[in-house]
Each structure stands twice: as structure tokens, then as C-alpha cells.
Amino acid sequence: MRWKFEGACPLVGFRRGLALMYFFWFSALMALSAGQEVKVSVCATTGMVADLARGVGGDAVAVHALMGPGVDPHLYKATASDLVRLQRADLILYNGLHLEGRMQETFERLSRSGRRVRAVTDGLNRARLIRTGTEGLHDPHVWFDVRLWADCVDGVARELMALRPASEGQFQARAALLRDRWIDLDRWARGRVAAVPESRRILVTSHDAFGYFGRAYGFQVVALQGISTVTEAGLADMTQLTDFIRTRGVPAVFIESSVSPAGLERIRKDAGVKLGGELFSDALGTPGEKHGDFDLGTYEGMIRRNVDRIVEGLK
């Protein structure tokens, strides 16, 4: 009888496979939704956004950052395992303002389809952002103005509270703590840059990531490449920058951890100035490496290292 049954319907094997597939899928879903002890899984794009989510969520969330140390978010290409993480995440957090390039369009469509996806810069008043070009676009490197980045905390806290109402108090308390901590950090940075004489507050970097830093802490920022790293600098840009460094007597230039240093290195040699060292621009450092007491894999460690490097290079 058995052979007859199978012979009659060649699709049985296929159907069995399909049933097995649904069983796996269903059990995976069950495992994810069972019990409140399971952490909220958050998938963040950059290290800065991941650090923000960890700060607000604490032990209640498991955060994964797609882009590791030294990765350039403008050029990032997702891998197959990123896709799995993005599909599984309860909440997707990204920087927004087109930092993530084309990934942002997918995120926006995903958000409209009902998934929990949020750009951390969404809540910011657009008037506080630096405009670029003419088409209502803004500079995405918001995290370098620490005060502005501290204002992104609340939006993330609201998302987490909506996902896990039971931990509302915990998220609120942590968010308040984190904001205070970053406002202190902002105050520290302002005090630190006071060591640099006004006339020497010129920051020359590889790409235009430090606009907010310049505005917040009183630096003129000049970069070899534009806001995004996708367009290479032309020859005219390079000579112009060399002349600028010479005439203004800029003491040091700075390379970035996530951008190739070749172009700026040539300008540095042509202009005959020293290298102020490597700054973190679009990615955090390697977790575990220290700057004083601060982990370079965290936002605070990144800001402190950058400010110290800049001050020491220019003063």
C-alpha cells in the first residue's frame, strides 16, 4: 500500500519538506516570543548607534552592530548574515540622514510596512542640523556634537518602551542617566578645547565628518573629500588644500580610521606639516582598547580620544 500511496502523489516528499520547514519556522518564532526574560534584540547599523541602544537598554536588550570598527558606513555592503540579523531583530536602529547610503531606502520602506525601524536622528529639530547642498539634505555626522547626540536618547528609549512596557521605568531611568553623562562629556570637551588658541582652531581631515564638531566646539573644519566618501578628491582640491594649510599655518592634519589616508598623507607631505594622528570619524574603535579609563569601543571613549588628539595636535 505504501508504495502505491507515494506513487500516486509525487508531491508528497515536497509537501513533507514544506511541513518540516514550517515546523522549524514556527518553533523559531515560538522560541523568540516565549517568556519575558528573552532580551529585546536590537540591530544597529553603526557602532555609535549600537552604543546608544546599549546605553538605554542595558541588560534588557541584546544589541548587534552591523558595521564593526574601521568600517565606512557610506560604502557598507550588507552580507547574508546581516540580512538574517535584520530580519530577526525586534528593533532596527540606524543613524539616518543618508549616512547609510542606499540601505536607508530599504529601512524606510520597511518602516512603512509596520516593522519597528527608527533613524535615531529622526526626533531632532531639522533647524539644528547642518544643511548640505540645496535639496533639503543634512550632514549625517550628528554624533560629533555631543549635546545633539544626547538628544537622540529619548527617541530610542520610546521605541524600547513600546516594545517592552514592563521595563518602562528601567529604560526611562537609564535614558536620563545617559543624557546626563553625555552632557557632562560635552562640558568636558568644551573645557578641553579651550587649551587650543583661537587662531589655531583649524581641523583638516580626510572627509567632511567633523562639521558638527567644528560648530559645537568652535573649529573651522576643512576636508579633502565631501560629506560622503564615495567621490574621490580631484587634483584641484588637493592643491587648494595644500595652499590653505601653508597660508594659514595649520600645525597638523588628521587622518580617519574608516577612510583611506593616502590622499591626506600626500597633502601633509606637500605642505610639510605633522600628522596629528588618527581620528575616529564614522566608526568606533576596537572594543577592549583603552584611552585612559575609557573603552575605545564606546561612544564616550571615541569622543574623548578624538578631542585629546585634536587638542594635542593643534595647541
Partner 1 sequence: MTLVPEFQYQRVFIEPWTTELGSHGLMALVTFLVGATCGLIGNFLILRRMALMGDAISHSVLPGIATAFLLTGSRGIGAMALGAVGAAFTTHLLIEIISRHSRIKPDAAIGIAFSTLFAAGVVLIAVFADRVDLDQDCVLNGELPMIPLEPSVRIGGLVLGPPPLVRLGCLWVGTVFLLLAFYKELLLSSFDPGLAACLGIPVGRVHHGLMLWLAMAVVASFEAVGAILVIALLILPGATASLLTEKMVPRLVWSLVHAALSAIAGMHLSVALDCSPAGASVVAGAGWFACAWVFSPVGGLIPAWWRRRRASSGGGGTVTGGD
- Nearer to partner 1 among residue 72 and residue 186 (C-beta): 72
Cβ neighbours for 278, distance < 8 A, ≥ 6 positions apart: 254, 255, 256, 257, 261, 309
Pairwise CA distance, residues 262 & 283, whole Å: 19
Buried b or exposed e, range 146-159, using 16+ CB within 10 angstroms: bbbbbbbbbbbbbb
At closest approach, how far in Å is the CB of 192 from partner 1? 32
Give residues in contact with partner 1 (CB under 8 A): 20-21, 24-25, 28, 75, 77-84, 86-87, 98, 101-103, 106, 109-110, 112-113, 132-133, 135, 137, 226-228, 230-231
Q: 122 with 155: CB under 8 angstroms?
A: yes
**Least Å from the CB of residue 39 to partner 1:** 20
Nearer to partner 1 by Cβ, of 1 and 80: the residue is: 80
DSSP 234: P
Closer to partner 1 at the Cβ: 102 or 187? 102
Q: Write down the least CB distance from residue 272 to partner 1, Å.
A: 30
Nearer to partner 1, 82 or 154 (CB): 82
Q: How far is the CB of 92 from partner 1 (least distance, A)?
A: 9
Cα four-point dihedral sign 304, 306, 309, 310: negative
Cβ-based nearer residue to partner 1, 101 or 123 = 101
Minimum Å distance from CB 56 to partner 1?
A: 24
Residue type, 136: G
Supply the DSSP string of 242-283, one letter for each residue. Answer: HHHHHHHT--EEEEETTS--HHHHHHHHHHT-EEEEEEP-SS
User: Is the Cβ of residue 132 or residue 167 nearer to partner 1 in the bound state?
Assistant: 132
Query: How many helices, marked H, and strands, marked E, lie in the chain?
Result: 12, 12
Task: Give the shortest CB-261-to-partner 1 separation in angstroms.
Answer: 21
